[in-house]
Amino acid sequence: MRQLKIALVGSSPIAFVSFYNDEFKQALISAEATEFDQLDFMSKHEVFSKWIGRGMCLDGDIDVTISESGKDDIYTKIFSYEDDFEDEVGGVEKYLGAKYADSINVGLDKNYFGKIHEYKYASIEIVETYKAEASLIISVKDNWELKDLNVVFLDIDTIGDFAQHFYGLTSLEQEVVGIKYQDQLHEFENNFEGGSNHWEYFERHDGDVWEVAYDIKSLFSDKMN
């Protein structure tokens, strides 16, 4: 077996999603403005969160470096495709392939938005991106080929109005999360350098309809000012 290090560099938006308990809004209304701390308050009431936008959107410019001990590094890009990689791209040895059949449907997957009907309130934090990086190390067979490494991405612009809210705010559609090798998913470890940030807030109404919660944004502004 051989060890491969796969490293990505990107620059698309950083975005975090958090969901909160049913007391979130009322607790915010009742909170004392004196020494109010937004992050502490949100952390206290958070029940589920996910790092969705990691700077690795396929619509952006992702640089890929594959390193193997004793060999020259491979510099390549990622190409997303529908059916047959070789038919669509040609020369499959030049790219990492990201097949739609391997993608994760954010709107349905229970690890993402598939269970958000259980929550009442949510926020999306968007962070200015200076530089984003991701990497992983996997063991591969001695005779491995580039086409054996399949990129797995989040399919974000999909089912559910909350996913549509997220897409509308971030324009993120296909976010790289890992590499599938021999049917096993290996997830990247991510980090980024960012600047300013802002939040948008949401409330779930009857019929599991998510709407922008302007009143929550106003409440936070009042408490902090």
Give per-residue pLDDT as tens, 118-149: 999 999 999 998 999 999 999 999 999 888 99
Which of 206, 203, 194, 154 is CA-nearest to residue 24? 203
Compute the distance between CA of residue 163 and CA of residue 107 in angstroms, rounded to an integer: 6
Which of 171, 188, 167 is CA-nearest to residue 179? 188
What pLDDT does 200 receive?
Answer: 97
pLDDT band at 16 (very low <50, low <70, confident <90, very high): very high
Compute the distance between CA of residue 207 and CA of residue 117 in angstroms, rounded to an integer: 9
Give per-residue pLDDT as tens, 53-75: 999 999 878 999 999 998 999 99
Sequence spans of domains, the chain: 2-224
Residue 49, pLDDT > 80, answer: yes
Highest mean pLDDT among 101-105, 204-208, 209-213: 209-213
Q: Name the token pair of 39.
A: 């992050």
What pLDDT does 82 receive?
Answer: 67
Give per-residue pLDDT as tens, 170-188: 999 899 999 999 999 999 9
**Residue type (1 letter), 90:** G
Residue 87, pLDDT > 60, answer: no
Residue 81, pLDDT > 80, answer: no
What pLDDT does 179 receive?
Answer: 97
pLDDT band at 86 (very low <50, low <70, confident <90, very high): low
Residue 221, pLDDT > 70, answer: yes
What pLDDT does 107 receive?
Answer: 87
pLDDT band at 94 (very low <50, low <70, confident <90, very high): confident
Sign of the CA dihedral running 178, 101, 129, 211: negative
CB proximity list for 32: less than 8 A, separation 6 or greater: none
Q: Name residue 134's beta-bridge partners.
A: 8, 190
Instruction: Supply the DSSP symbol for 203.
Output: E
What pLDDT does 139 receive?
Answer: 96
